[in-house]
Amino acid sequence: MHRMYNFLLLFFLSVCIAESAGPLTTVCNDDTKTNGSSQTSRNIDLLLHKLVSGTVENGFIATSYGEGDARIYGLAQCRGDVSEDDCSGCIQAAAKHIRPPCPDQTDARIFYDNCFLRYETVKFFGEVDVSGLHYYNIENVTDPDVFNQKLGALMDQISSEAVKPSQKGLGKGKSKISCFVTLYALVQCTRDLSDINCARCLAIGIGNFPTYCNNRKGCRVLYSSCYVRYELYPFFFPLDPENESLAGGFVKSKSISAYKP
């Protein structure tokens, strides 16, 4: 029995590491192509340095670089539960990997599980933006009625936690579905949003559950303004020591929707 638990634990950790390695997606707005050698393009590179150092220091930054038409606005944020090291690694990777797929665009976003980075020529701070993607576990829950009732209650609870000023947009929690199954969920808004706009973004993500996550064992909503995720295993830090919940299985997700900003 012990060996089985160890195996599951190892397996779970390796899935986690593999998961956090690459970006989940990069989105470039092709209507915003610029001259690769322009001042805007140089400003993007300089902005990226600012975004990395600000995020490493504070977990979040919304700032700009440059003057006039070549001014570029950027925002970067780590998931509130990740360690400083993981945050730093994630945001550095984001800054490195955002430009190659979007070399000439001035509106680009990159989504990871642990962090998010975005820039644009218009000042977008404070506005709800639900462009992004949904991921779901291909497995379905066995008892949708009980599951959805628990899921709805947990989402309500952590959404109201996320809008409390001390929370910096983060809410997380768990709920027992049965003796052996625990549901884990986390929501987070970008910290430029007001409480009302945070609540609005989360409500849109959760409201999209019936469409994108219907009865699935796990689901992730990655929007430019907020992140919503639930799983039947612990995925946020500090990791839950209740190891029986590993019996909930690991995720097998796929992207089903990516809209252009």
CA 185 to chain centre: 12
Question: Among residues 38 and 58, whose Cβ is nearest to ligand NAG?
Answer: 38
- DSSP code for 246: G
- Choice from 19, 104, 139, 161 touching ligand NAG (CB under 6 A): 139
From the CB of 217, what's the least distance to ligand NAG, in Å? 9
- Choice from 179, 238, 241, 254 touching ligand NAG (CB under 6 A): 241
Contact 9, 17 (CB under 8 A): no
Distance (Å, rounded) from C-alpha 35 to C-alpha 238?
45
Distance (Å, rounded) from C-alpha 50 to C-alpha 75?
10
- The piece of 70-78, 80-88, 223-231, 238-246 that touches ligand NAG (CB under 6 A) is 238-246
229 half-sphere exposure, CB direction, 13 A CA radius:
23
Question: Among residues 38 and 157, whose Cβ is nearest to ligand NAG?
Answer: 38
Contact 66, 72 (CB under 8 A): yes
Question: Among residues 217 and 229, whose Cβ is nearest to ligand NAG?
Answer: 217
238 binds ligand NAG (CB under 6 A): no
Per rule CB under 6 A, count of chain residues that contact ligand NAG: 10
- Choice from 242, 252, 255, 259 touching ligand NAG (CB under 6 A): 242
From the CB of 156, what's the least distance to ligand NAG, in Å? 25
Q: Which of residues 22-51 bind ligand NAG (CB under 6 A)?
A: 35, 37-38
From the CB of 260, what's the least distance to ligand NAG, in Å? 23
From the CB of 63, what's the least distance to ligand NAG, in Å? 25
180 binds ligand NAG (CB under 6 A): no
Question: Among residues 106 and 225, whose Cβ is nearest to ligand NAG?
Answer: 106
The identity of residue 65, as a single letter, is Y
5 binds ligand NAG (CB under 6 A): yes
Gyration radius (Cα) of the chain, Å: 19
Distance (Å, rounded) from C-alpha 230 to C-alpha 174?
9
Contact 109, 27 (CB under 8 A): yes
Question: Among residues 9 and 196, whose Cβ is nearest to ligand NAG?
Answer: 9
Contact 251, 171 (CB under 8 A): no
Distance (Å, rounded) from C-alpha 51 to C-alpha 64?
9
Question: Among residues 157 and 214, whose Cβ is nearest to ligand NAG?
Answer: 214
From the CB of 93, what's the least distance to ligand NAG, in Å? 29
| DSSP output for 3-28 | HHHHHHHHHHHHHHHHHHHS-SEEEE
List C-alpha distances in Å: 190 to 16, 30, 72, 80, 118: 23, 24, 18, 10, 11
- Choice from 13, 21, 138, 196 touching ligand NAG (CB under 6 A): 138
Q: Which residues contact ligand NAG (rule: CB under 6 A)?
A: 5, 35, 37-38, 138-140, 241-243
